[in-house]
Structure 1
Amino acid sequence: MDLRRYLASRPPYEIGGLFGAIAVTMVVVTVLVQDSSSIKVPYERKIIYVEQWSANRTDAEIIAQQKIDKVKRDRELAELDRLKKKKQAEFKRLDDKLRAYGF
């Protein structure tokens, strides 16, 4: 009853503006909800296996294993560095294109 009386006392352009604002808000919320539900973030499990070493290893065995691990670590770091440089080059190309337009 109060809402009907309030709406009857308002000029027609205010009621139109009210429903227009409600409609625009609903459209924006609907688009955002649909957009967020379409994002499928792949979940990738990273399993870390813990190696067990015998307590009576010699220093030579430890040093040999460290050398093997260092080669693996260096290879992984080189790959990561390559990927970083590739990504930086992509951003550099994008930046150059945007600077050409004055951004």
Structure 2
Amino acid sequence: MASHRPRAYLGGTMQYFARFSPFRAVNDLRRYLAQRHPYEIGFLFLSIVLTSLLILGFLVDSRMEKPYKREIQYFESWNADRSREQIRAAQLRDMAIKTKLDVTREKALADRKAAFKRVDDKLTSMGL
């Protein structure tokens, strides 16, 4: 007969976290940094700052505000005996709405391209 005591669900991993102490971690980091040369610490912090700026730049750039607009599209009911003039008038009206939306989208795209162009020109003037 095997008689052993049942183990806790996360028995082994919880002992690891019980040994973890933030104070010991800070002391360990302080001792590690004390053994390093000053230029190594400078490059460490420089690399942390540059990496953070790069990630922050991607986060800021990826956010594009979209205005909230309720868009409910219902199906239109048409008479079976519509004339071609009525059909053409409805198409022209829909085409005018679509053209207005396309112009708005193109303007937003052109503004975004212009902003990127300004940044590129600044970086080029700095030699990057």
Instruction: Show structure 1 runs of 4+ deviating over 6 A.
Output: none
Q: Which runs of 5+ in 2 are unaligned?
A: 1-14, 20-24, 33-64
TM-score by length of 2: 0.44
Q: Within 2, Cα distance between the matches of 1:101 and 1:83? A: 28
Aligned length: 74
Q: 2:121 aligns with which of 65, 74, 96?
A: 96
Q: Which moved more, 1:79-88 or 1:50-59?
A: 50-59
Q: Which of 2, 20, 27 lines up with 1:16 in the alignment?
A: 27
Deviation at 1:93, TM superposition (A): 0.3
* TM-align CA RMSD: 3.6
* Percent of pairs with identical residues: 22
Task: Name structure 1 gaps, 5 residues minimum.
Answer: 7-13, 22-40
TM-score, scaled to structure 1 = 0.53
TM-aligned CA deviation for residue 87 of structure 1:
1.2
Is 1:85 matched with 2:110?
A: yes
Q: Return closer, same or farther for 1:20/1:75 CA change in 2, 3 Å cut-off.
A: farther
- Does the C-alpha gap of structure 1 residues 53 and 15 become closer, same or farther in structure 2, counting only changes over 3 Å? closer
Distance 1:17 1:71, change over 3 A: same
- Per-residue deviation, 1:81: 1.0
Counterpart position of 2:4: none
- Structure-1 residue corresponding to 2:78: 54
Question: Deviations for 1:40-62, whole angstroms, at most 9, x for unmatched residues?
Answer: x8883542221422232232211
